[in-house]
């Protein structure tokens, strides 16, 4: 079965540079969530989109922005990168438009490991 695709898998950037992470949800899934996981930490929610509209926002820095496109893929744009942005970034998708889909059942991608030097 198709899974969530994230690209790139690894990314190395220098401080103050910009990075763009991409996420391709499972076909027919209508919701995308972005999470950040720092070294030795638990995943933290950043932002979500439902039917291409931003739905919820967590502790996402103002330097970060995201959007979901007409084909449902999503991009996380990160500017003025800082050393502390080094982390694994996960995208997850879910199908919330159907009753039979359980709440909180999300499917995660393999993640993008961002290293800021």
Judged by the rule CB under 8 A, the positions of this chain that interact with another protein are: 4, 31, 33, 35, 42-45, 48-51, 53, 55-56, 58, 88, 90, 92, 94, 96, 102-111, 113
For residue 17, CA distances in Å to 36, 60, 89 come to 18, 17, 17
Q: Which is nearer to another protein, 79 or 86 (CB)?
A: 86
Q: Which is nearer to another protein, 15 or 49 (CB)?
A: 49
Q: How far is the CB of 110 from another protein (least distance, A)?
A: 6
Q: How far is the CB of 19 from another protein (least distance, A)?
A: 19
For residue 79, CA distances in Å to 46, 65, 66, 82 come to 15, 9, 11, 9
Distance of alpha carbon 90 from alpha carbon 7, whole angstroms: 10
């Amino acid at each position: 079965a198709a899974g969530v695709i994230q690209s790139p898998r690894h990314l190395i950037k220098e401080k103050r540079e910009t990075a763009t992470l991409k996420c391709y949800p499972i076909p027919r899934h209508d919701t995308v969530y972005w999470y950040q996981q720092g070294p030795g930490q638990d995943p933290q929610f950043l932002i979500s989109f439902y039917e291409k509209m931003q739905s919820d926002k967590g502790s996402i820095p103002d330097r970060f922005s995201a959007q979901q496109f007409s084909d449902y893929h999503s991009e996380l744009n990160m500017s003025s990168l800082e050393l502390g942005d080094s982390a694994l970034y996960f995208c997850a998708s879910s199908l919330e438009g159907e009753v039979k889909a359980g709440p909180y059942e999300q499917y995660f991608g393999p993640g993008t490991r961002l290293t800021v030097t």
